[in-house]
């Protein structure tokens, strides 16, 4: 971890692990608001706390960007394998909680949209649902 600049060590998992979260926030915030996203993430953190207690935020989230900065810092404070395992637990739990709130089908569509926006190669179609 780089302490002099305050930037997390990407080898420890901070930066790359946040990409899915940023895409998910882009899809969900227009629907549930920033406070709704933060509340859902807070509940997610609470659920995974017994296994990954070091992920618990020091203060309540006020915006997704604040949440991401804090999460990046916490993920960068541990080794890459531990950071990846914790992030996977967060993503899995977040998806389960979202699915319980809005239903599995809608969750799948929203998360598919979030992951599709970054994955296709240039020139590929990103919205298969619009074709139907």
pLDDT in tens, 92-123: 999 999 999 999 999 998 888 777 654 444 44
Residue 2 has pLDDT above 50, yes or no: no
Largest CA-CA distance found in the chain, in angstroms, rounded: 52
pLDDT in tens, 32-75: 999 999 999 999 999 999 999 888 776 777 899 999 999 999 99
Is-contact 8 15, C-beta < 8 A? Answer: yes
| Band of residue 11 on the pLDDT scale cut at 50, 70, 90 | very low
pTM, two decimals, is: 0.74
CA–CA gap between residue 34 and residue 46 (Å, rounded): 18
Phi-psi category of residue 56: left, alpha or beta, with phi > 0 → left and psi -120 to 50 → alpha: beta
| Band of residue 8 on the pLDDT scale cut at 50, 70, 90 | very low
CA–CA gap between residue 67 and residue 24 (Å, rounded): 13
- Please list, in sequence order, all residues whose beta carbon lies within 8 angstroms of the beta carbon of residue 131, skipping any fewer than 6 positions away: 125
Is-contact 80 13, C-beta < 8 A? Answer: yes
Residue 124 has pLDDT above 60, yes or no: no
């Amino acid at each position: 971890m780089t302490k002099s600049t305050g930037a997390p060590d990407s080898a420890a998992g901070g930066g790359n692990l946040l990409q899915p979260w940023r895409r998910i926030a882009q899809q969900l915030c227009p629907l549930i608001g920033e406070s709704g996203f933060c509340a859902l993430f807070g509940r997610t953190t609470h659920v995974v706390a017994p296994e990954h207690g070091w992920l618990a935020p020091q203060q309540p989230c006020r915006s997704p960007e604040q949440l991401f900065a804090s999460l990046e810092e916490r993920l960068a404070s541990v080794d890459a394998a531990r950071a990846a395992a914790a992030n996977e637990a967060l993503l899995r739990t977040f998806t389960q909680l979202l699915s319980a709130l809005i239903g599995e089908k809608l969750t799948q569509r929203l998360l598919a949209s979030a992951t599709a926006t970054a994955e296709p190669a240039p020139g590929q179609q990103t919205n298969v649902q619009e074709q139907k």
